[in-house]
Amino acid sequence: MELTLDEALQKAIEAHKAGQVQEADRLYTAILKAQPKHPDSNHNMGVLAAGVGKAQEALPFFKTALEANPSIGQYWLSYIDALIKLDRITDAKTVFDQAKKKGASGEAFNQRGAKLNFNKGTSTSLEAAQLIKKAIIYRENGEFATAIKLLTNCLSEFSGSAELLSLLAHCYLLNDDLENVSFYLGKAKEIDPHAVSVGLNDVRLLMQNNKMSDALVVARKTMEIFPENVEGMGVIGACLRVNKEIDQSLLYLDKAISLNPDYAEALINRGLIKLTQKDKLGALSDLETAHRLKPHMKQIWDLVISLNAELNNFEQAISLLSNMAKSDPSNEKHFENLGRYHQYLGNLEAALKNYTHAVKIKPDFAEAYSNMGVTLQDKGDLEAAIDSYKKALKIKPDYADAYNNLGAALRTKGDLKAAIDCYIKALKIRPDYAQAYSNMGVALKGIAFTKPISGLMEIIISLLDQRTPCMPYTIAPAAISLLKLEPTLKELLEKHSIGTLRQSLQEMTSTFAELPLLSKLMSVCPIADLELEAILVDIRLALLSSVDEISISPGILRFQSALALQCFTNEYIYNQTDKESELLKALEVVIEKKLSNDQQPSPHSILCLASYKALHEYEWCDALTINTDIEEVFVRQVQEPKEESRLKANIPILQEITDKVSSKVREQYEANPYPRWVNLGLSLRPKTTTQLVKELNLRIFDNAANDRPAPNILIAGCGTGRHSIVVASRFKDCNVLAIDLSLSSLAYAKRKTEELGLQNIDYMQADILSLNKLDKKFDIIESVGVLHHMDDPMAGWRVLTDCIEPGGLMNIGLYSELARQHIVKIREEISQSGIGSSDNAMKLFRTEAINSDKAHYERILTSGDLYSLSTFRDLLFHVQEHRFTICQIKDCLSELGLKFCGFESDKIVGDFKLTNTGPDDPYDLDKWDLYEKDNPHSFVGMYQFWCQKVT
């Protein structure tokens, strides 16, 4: 539909205001083609031309507009401003006089008059204009001192030029000489207070003096007078940014940049806004453009360098920083940063060279010594690394990072207790130090304490209070060994073990309640200790037996809450006697009766019941009044299961599961979602595939694996989400699809994922055998502890191989035939006995196993899988299990076209390297086969290894 002239004009004006210069120009041109004398279109075409610095081309348009309609004051103002820009002051005065004769008036005309009434012989001469242009070139190139010298040398000749004085003030401002700024800007104001440059430099000075709101007032007044001034758009944009008016700031900055793409200051301010909006790529683009335009602006260098580093563009960061170091060779920080960036790239020698240079410039540079230690540690020179950390600490005794790094080196060396001491010191200095907590969690794995350590219990409690530094079950043995050194608990356990415990129930529960670390452990993971389990079982029975008699205190209620959470987390694995069943039924009747009479049962009775059965299994659970005594138990035992039921209904299903074995496995995990967990360890800093390959010391055969910045990852068999969540936090910018047979497990996983605020995981119910229906390829596939539960593991593994991109990586976990011989024997005995796999049958068998003196039973007593029902079922009662040898794995990899990249276990690989010292040995499965035959218990958990699809 063809537009009328008025409609076209309206659209042109809208485009003009929005900064859409080309569209506005097109529409105005079309109007002028139809009506060459159209006044508004002529005027606005002139404004467009003047706005991009083409004042000479603007003049005919303004002249035509005035000829068509001389009564419009803005036409006169625009014409006069264009003449002033061209330094045609005489012509401007003539036009001004004509406008006045035509009746033009108002403040804007008065301001133009003031502008034109200064000493024409000095301020408007061609020589002054040329001088100003030359000074501006010096200013734009960062040669502020040269510009100042040029301008001051001519002051006596051109002292009446407001433009010259204002430019001089700006150069002094850029040269950090505020006293002279105020002086010369004041002189410029005396001559022409309404000059645009005077107003803009006034804004800059106010901002420099941190008078941001005052600066904005002046900026707005200046832009009212000179609305089309491009430099002014940039200045008010900067002013609005610091005043937190971001949307308005962007409008001005975008328009300024569209009119002048080389406007460095506007680009810098827009880049800074993008940085606050987390648009790092957009910020880097603007700031790098500004840097190319004005490389002398050193503050941009720092931003561009740091942004490149944050975006892993380390080569670019190094290139820029090397130039900075050349221009400022005495700045030790440049060399320290160069060292860090080279270190990230794996250029360890270059990193050491720069750190060494940094400490040569500044011998007391603690940060450089600490980072040098990290590089030396990466090189494998632990002793030199430790020495470097100690130098840093000698310089700076309260340096938490150095203590943390020293702890990491000592842990690698095998001195766990010294490492823990370092982490304690780091955390005393910085109690919120996430990396030190994470490292403490790693150091506590597999250690048993024989002496108390001051302050460690409190740190472990803080560690467990946080959701993500570590998986609680991994540090529980260390924490329990520490607890058992407490005199009161030690005495209690000793007396209980020999049957001489005479303490009252109240005294026993009080003893436990006074051990906050024990209560915390009980709340977040199964207590994998038979001594503690035995006394907890007895206390649970005693509490149930005396539910109406015991005197309740806040401490006892806290302990009861922890006990109820412990029993829920271990899925009520403790065996229940007939006496307990009778007492439990009686308590259920009492509670139900109270609730039916609109009475609330005591917290003590609810917690007692929750130690035997999950509260959500009772229809009356929603009738409970929640108070602080039962709140945590209610959340875990009622609210969270209900949330899982809600989530379960919305989990997508790939297709119906029809394979018989898959269906049986699904039934098992619907009944016992595996594993039940509360907290887990997440990566504090997600890493690229390249970084993780290097960290894991994997041998890569196709570098395509390293070239995927946002990998698509499949977790084939995610269970309750522990695996998928860890992976989602481990790989930078990844997208994860996690599948499982069990909807109950997936609902648990989905709830925990939402609880942790992760946005990059999708869940789906699917059988590995049906994954071809997805019609999707993945960069990385992880399937740990899954394939060996399939009817035909190779069939499943073949499907996964078909789903991975060429060059993609696969993380596989399989049971070891050698390491599980004791499990095989027990499974055979279970099968022959015909005891079944009901919850009660498993609990009874577990009790028999604990009391057995058979050697193969004793071996399972050290397994954490003994201490919760789902893990115990998985250990001994799984409906399907295959096991592999390393030779079989080698054959499978060959058949599937996969290459072995390495095992994922620092401990096992470290032990292997003690006797297999060749650089290729860790990637030689024949050598691993020999090693396992000599060390048959090495892979008691499972083989966990990486492989790559090679075309």
Amino acid at 667: E
629 vs 901: CA distance, rounded Å: 52
Amino acid at 228: E
555 vs 55: CA distance, rounded Å: 84
Q: Which residues of the chain have pLDDT under 50?
A: 114, 118-124
The β-bridge partners of 763 are 738
Per-residue DSSP letters for 21-76?
HHHHHHHHHHHHHH-TT-HHHHHHHHHHHHHTT-HHHHHHHHHHHHHH-TT-HHHH
682 vs 438: CA distance, rounded Å: 9
- Take residue 27 and report the two structure tokens written for it: 């529409």
Give the residue from 618, 626, 564, 569 showing the smallest Cα distance to 591. Answer: 618
- pLDDT tens, residue by residue, 502-536: 667 777 787 888 899 999 999 999 999 999 999 99
Confirm if 561 and 632 have CB atoms less than 8 A apart.
yes
729 vs 685: CA distance, rounded Å: 8
Give the residue from 608, 561, 574 showing the smallest Cα distance to 588. Answer: 608
Confirm if 575 and 847 have CB atoms less than 8 A apart.
yes
Given strand 735-740, what is the order of strands in its sheet?
A: 761-765, 735-740, 712-716, 778-784, 804-814, 943-949, 898-903
Which phi and psi (to 5°) does residue 809 adopt? Answer: -105, 150
CA 379 from chain centre, in angstroms, equals 28
644 vs 864: CA distance, rounded Å: 26
417 vs 120: CA distance, rounded Å: 84
Confirm if 782 and 810 have CB atoms less than 8 A apart.
yes
Cα angle 463, 674, 737; round to 5: 90
Helices (H) and strands (E) in the chain, counts: 50, 7
Give the residue from 402, 416, 466, 412 showing the smallest Cα distance to 437. Answer: 466
For 291-299, which contacts have Cβ atoms below 8 Å and span 24 or more sequence positions? Answer: 293/262, 293/264, 293/267, 294/140, 294/142, 294/264, 295/142, 296/141, 296/142, 297/142, 297/264, 297/268, 298/324
107 vs 669: CA distance, rounded Å: 82
Residue 171 CA: distances (Å) to CA of 126, 205, 230, 260, 894 = 21, 11, 19, 21, 72
Strand, helix or coil for residue 653 = strand
- pLDDT tens, residue by residue, 641-689: 999 999 999 999 999 999 999 999 999 999 888 888 888 878 778 888 9
- Take residue 921 and report the two structure tokens written for it: 């040995």
Give the residue from 477, 475, 501 showing the smallest Cα distance to 489. Answer: 501
44 vs 241: CA distance, rounded Å: 29
Give pLDDT, residue 170: 92
124 vs 846: CA distance, rounded Å: 101
Confirm if 239 and 215 have CB atoms less than 8 A apart.
yes
Give pLDDT, residue 133: 85
Place of tokens 């942790």: 756
482 vs 532: CA distance, rounded Å: 13
Give pLDDT, residue 470: 86
**Biggest alpha carbon–alpha carbon distance for the chain:** 118
Residue 427 CA: distances (Å) to CA of 436, 448, 458 = 7, 21, 11
313 vs 300: CA distance, rounded Å: 16
Strand, helix or coil for residue 401 = helix
Residue 115: Cβ within 10 Å count: 22
- The tally of CA atoms less than 13 A away on the side-chain side of residue 911 is 13
Query: Global pTM?
Result: 0.75
Instruction: Work out the burial of residue 933: count CB atoms within 10 Å of its CB; fewer than 13 is exposed, 13-18 middle, 19 or more buried.
Output: exposed
Give pLDDT, residue 499: 76
Give pLDDT, residue 156: 67
| Pairing status of strand 712-716 against strand 735-740 | parallel
Helices (H), 328-455: 332-344, 348-361, 366-378, 382-395, 400-413, 416-429, 434-444
Which phi and psi (to 5°) does residue 278 adopt? Answer: 65, 15
